Structure 1
Amino acid sequence: MSTTTTPDRATGALDLAELGRDAELAAVVRVAAAVTGVPCATLNLLDACEQHQLVPHGFPGCSSPAEESLCATMTAEGPRVRVYADLSTDPRYADNPWVDGRRSSVRAYASAPLLVDGLAVGTLCVFDTAPHAFPADAGDRLADLAGVVVALFQRRRQARQLAVLAAARAADRDQAQAAASHAARSEAFTRALLEALPVGVVAADADGRITLFNRLGRQWHGLPEEHADQVAGAELTEDVVERFGLCTPDGRRLALAEVPLARVYTEDRVRDAHMAIDLPGHPLRVLRASGTRIRDDAGRPTGAVVAMMDVTAQVELEARLREAALHDALTGLPNRALLLDRTEQALRVQEREGLPAAVLYCDLDGFKQVNDTLGHAAGDAALVRMAAALTSVVRPGDTVARIGGDEFVVLCPGTATEAAARGLAERLSAALASPADGGPALRSSTGLALSRAGDTPDTLLSRADAAMYAVKRSRR
């Protein structure tokens, strides 16, 4: 991959190699694939000559000439969300190298532009080599995730500007004896600017004594404004770590050597280290910290500086996106994407241990009639009761998923016999016939399939689906 830097307006001169290693960008790309139900996704950045595919998911990714780029072509036509079930049927794109087989055979395709300061600098793109329709809200979800990518770009631009500013301040202090008056004015200006920045900054001298802790950093660490001078000259110790409630995002207390400022002294540079502040009476605050050693012209270390950004809202948003991407909104059950992942894991267990997995494909009988005669609210209530009945009869390690409409799937890994699986189907029928809430009885047509050597998640689900339809036909 090229290391040519992207335009300053987009990324603040962060190079492509650095962005390609960004774990948060990779997470957004994976979520984009999951929420749109396709296997491939990438973050594309466009310059005058090339399209650069960063953090590709589901395919190798590469750089390619801009004139061959689908995203460049569509963005030139107007930066908006695009959703296509089959690009090969559109004469505008059918002979594009990414569609006609010269580079790939893209069919289902969707993209959302990355708009920075009104300029389209790239796209968040998802695709499949098989044609199919996207969910109705796929474009909206992709646009939301594109907004997250742009926010990450902007935060990195702030961090880069801050690092330059902090280094300039350290250099100014080293020159103070030669130009005291100029250094004093420069330090006053720099300190005022650091105090106003929307990021936390902490700096220390060559011996590890704190020399700077800006306003936002003090506020996040619970240091009252009237006690701001208490940190000047202080050393980072285990007691300080305990006092400030420094911990990992999952709540484990940090050891002194794990604190980003301490790590800079041993690692020379720290990038995107996640930590949290857990103070009594305050919600957990998650920070992303980057820091570096400061050296003089002779290369001697003179100190260290760490910049911190509050990513609490971003982490919470990503958690909600992951939850929404993998679970059904009505019942809270896993959706098709999560079911396929767990089925793949069950098949790997079979290869290793020889125990097949059972799949029960369940269709709620009479669901259309309930919707048509009693309304959608009654239909939703029936689906929720179906989900509760399924959940009540399975083992703790089994998966109950709703994969669309009135269709549910139960995955039972390590089920050695068909008899055991049929026993589960009978328990399900009994639970539906005698609902715990006293509502009307329900009935399900249930098809059963046991996994075989060489199965894939799709082939196993297809056999269970076929078995379910055979049961439904036999009842007519």
Structure 2
Amino acid sequence: MTDEEFSLAIFHSLIVEQDRADAWETWKRDSVIGGHHSDEFRIWRSNDGTERVMQSRIEVEVGPDSRPVRVRGTHLDITQLKMAQYAAQRANAFADAILTASPDDTIVTDVATGEIVYASPGTHVLGLTGAEFEKLSPEAAAALVHPDDRDRLRALRVATGALEDGQSLQERFRARHTDGRWLWLSQRATPFRRDDSRNVVEILAVVRDVMDLVQAEELLTHAARHDHLTGLPNRAFLLEILDAALERSAGDGRDVAVLFCDLDGFKRVNDTGGHSAGDAVLQETARRIRGVLRAEDTVARVGGDEFVIVIEPWNRDDADDGQARRREPESTRDFAMQVAERVIDALRRPVRIRDVDHVVTASIGLTFATLVADTGSGVVTVDSVLRRADAAMYRAKARGKNRCEVYEQAPGARGVA
């Protein structure tokens, strides 16, 4: 064995056993082929017994007869480089696993153009994959957002560009699923990449489906503003509705009509049929009153057997566009009187519960108001309007019940309860 062969054998023995056969075959192949060659393998370092990763780079010089005549090369310890590469690969794999397993979507967007430069893998909440998201143009991505929410989302992107690192902004918006449904989503955005001038050029947004949360909030809001027995607006919601109606009336001074209804004979229903019968009568009362009103009118249950009706001189749904619609041909006052008569007629019919007919009637107090100063009564408020209607209702009771009385300046004593 020559000295060169002996040195090569010693070096070969230092190679980790799992890499030894491949390294030897590579060496034999490269040594007879001219040119530059590179290979990687692991060795045991003799002085401390640690495993190192080596990179072998050789140049084989071939003679005129195509046989190798000289081999020059170096061995470079690349252990630290390999460890860094492994750490980076592991970090990337860890991040990919988190993004894939997370129920939230992660999207990176260009601040200036709105272009999606990255979307987490997997299927997103809108039914698109990450790859499909990345192919969307800024215009196509914006078209997924509900028209009423697009400006807010654009403003969020711009505002996020002014944040410091570690800060974030959150916004809810609606977006269309691939199946056509509108979903409520929540987006939290934070600066992701800055240019050399420290300006934010990309933002990272974490998006999640909050449809269940929004629906739960809507149910809670509805429960807080509606009577659980009849489903009608409760007193708190009525105050909001009436206050808004009076504000709208200030535009042209036209009247808002308020009818305060109290059931006559309701105590007798509870006494003879029990509270279950009383509940059934209240539910039927609500249904009958609702049946004689139009969609834009409001009826609320404000007490045990007390209901309040609000009638405006226009449709509330059309009021926001400034084109308040007059009721034709009757005035608000004429129409309100007709409503009172319809309610009285509807409620005097017996309510049959478990083969027993229960009869209740309605005493109604009617008043009209606007936010224009009212001579002799000062500034109109929600409370003052309800007090007027309540006073007129007690006058109806005092005058025989089952009737409607219109508020007068001095309605007198409250009368019979």
**Would you call these one fold, judging by a TM-score over 0.5?**
yes
Match of 1:304 among 203, 213, 217: 203
* Structure 2 stretches lacking a partner, 5+ long: 1-80, 163-168, 314-329, 401-415
Partner of 1:467: 392
Question: Cα distance 1:184–1:403, how it changes in 2: closer, same or farther (>3 A)?
Answer: same
Query: 2:345 is matched with which residue?
Result: 430
TM-fit CA distance, 1:469: 1.8
Aligned match of 1:236: 136
Aligned with 2:236: secondary structure? helix
Q: CA–CA distance in 1 between the matches of 2:392 and 2:258? A: 10
Match of 1:288 among 164, 186, 193: 186
- Which letter does structure 1 place at the counterpart of 2:184? V
User: What's the offset of the Cα at 1:390?
Assistant: 1.6
The equivalent of 2:31 in structure 1 is none
Partner residue of 1:268 out of 161, 167, 170: 161
| Equivalent runs, 1:135-284 vs 2, <5 Å | 180-203=85-108, 208=115, 210-215=117-122, 218-223=123-128, 230-231=131-132, 234-237=134-137, 241=141, 246-248=144-146, 264=157, 268=161, 271-280=170-179, 284=182
Q: Does 1:330 align with 2:237?
A: no
Given candidates 358, 374, 378, the residue that maps to 2:277 is 378
Tell me what 1:57 maps to: none
**What secondary structure sits across from 1:202 in the alignment?**
strand
Matched AA of 2:193: I
Q: Which amino acid aligns with 2:390?
A: D
Is the Cα contact below 8 Å between 1:349 and 1:355 reproduced in 2? no
What's the secondary structure of 1:405's corresponding residue? coil
The Cα of 1:214 is off from its aligned counterpart by: 3.9
Displacement of 1:236? 2.7
Measure the CA separation in 2 of the matches of 1:283 and 1:363.
44
Report deviation, 1:345. Answer: 2.3
1:458 aligns with 2:380: no
Distance 2:199 2:381 in 1: 59
Residue 411 of structure 2: aligned partner: none
Q: How much has 1:223 moved relative to structure 2?
A: 4.5
**Amino acid corresponding to residue 161 of structure 2 in structure 1:** D
SS in 2 for 1:353: coil
Deviation (angstroms), 1:421: 3.3
CA distance in 2, matches of 1:421, 1:372: 33
* Change over 3 Å in CA distance of 1:297–1:443 after alignment to 2: same
User: Does the residue aligned with 2:302 lie in a helix, a strand or coil?
Assistant: strand
Cα offsets for 1:96-143 (capped at 9, x unmatched) = xxxxxxxxxxxxxxxxxxxxxxxxxxxxxxxxxxxxxxxxxxxxxxxx
Pairing partner for 2:255 from 349, 356, 359: 356
Structure 1 counterpart of 2:341, which letter? E
Q: 1:223 to 1:337 in 2, by over 3 A?
A: same
Find the aligned partners of 1:445 and 1:265 in 2 and give their Cα distance.
59
Match of 2:366 among 437, 448, 452: 448
Q: How far 1:444 sits from its partner (Å)?
A: 0.8
* Separation in 1, partners of 2:110, 2:311: 59
Alignment partner, residue 242 of structure 2? 343
CA distance in 2, matches of 1:374, 1:466: 30
Cα distance per residue 1:292-346 (max 9 Å; x no partner): 3412565265643211122111111121122112221222212112211221123
For residue 315 of structure 1, the aligned residue among 214, 236, 242 is 214
SS at match of 1:379: helix
CA contact (8 A) 1:277 1:286 kept: no
| Number of residue pairs the alignment of both structures matches | 286
Amino acid at match of 2:391: A
CA separation in 2, counterparts of 1:253 and 1:423?
Answer: 39
Displacement of 1:181 in angstroms is 4.7
CA change 1:196–1:376 in 2 (3 A) is same
Counterparts in 2 of 1:421 and 1:197: CA distance versus 1, 3 Å: closer
Give, in whole Å, the separation in 2 of the partners of 1:323 and 1:237: 39
Deviating more after overlay: 188-197 vs 444-453: 188-197
* Contact 1:274 1:287 (C-alpha < 8 Å) held by counterparts: yes
Root mean square deviation of aligned Cα: 3.9
User: Measured at CA, do residues 416 and 263 of structure 1 come closer, stay the same or move farther in structure 2, by a change above 3 Å?
Assistant: closer
Closer, same or farther: CA 285–396 of 1 in aligned 2, 3 Å: closer
Tell me if the contact between 2:256 and 2:332 (Cα under 8 Å) persists in the aligned partners.
no
1:417, distance to aligned residue in structure 2 (A): 6.7
CA contact (8 A) 2:284 2:351 kept: no
Distance 1:258 1:372, change over 3 A: closer
The gaps in structure 1 that reach 5 residues or longer are 1-175
Question: For the structure 1 residues 366 and 308, does the alpha-carbon distance in structure 2 shift closer, same or farther, using more than 3 Å as the test?
Answer: same
2:126 and 2:175 in contact (8 A); partners too:
no
* Aligned partner letter, 1:213: S
- Distance in 1, Cα, partners of 2:335 & 2:204: 62
Contact 1:364 1:406 in 2 (8 A): yes
Letter in 1 for 2:213: Q
Following superposition, the deviation at residue 402 of structure 1 comes to 0.8
Alpha-carbon distance change, 214 to 253 in structure 1, aligned in 2, over 3 angstroms: farther
1:321 and 1:277 map into 2 onto residues whose CA distance is: 25
One-letter identity of the residue aligned with 2:382 = P
What CA distance in whole angstroms lies between the structure 1 residues aligned with 2:364 and 2:153? 55
Identical aligned pairs, as a percentage? 35
Q: 1: distance between equivalents of 2:310 and 2:132?
A: 57
Instruction: Provide the C-alpha distance between the structure 2 equivalents of 1:298 and 1:387, rounded to a whole number of angstroms.
Output: 66
Q: Please give the secondary structure, in 2, of the residue aligned with 1:299.
A: coil
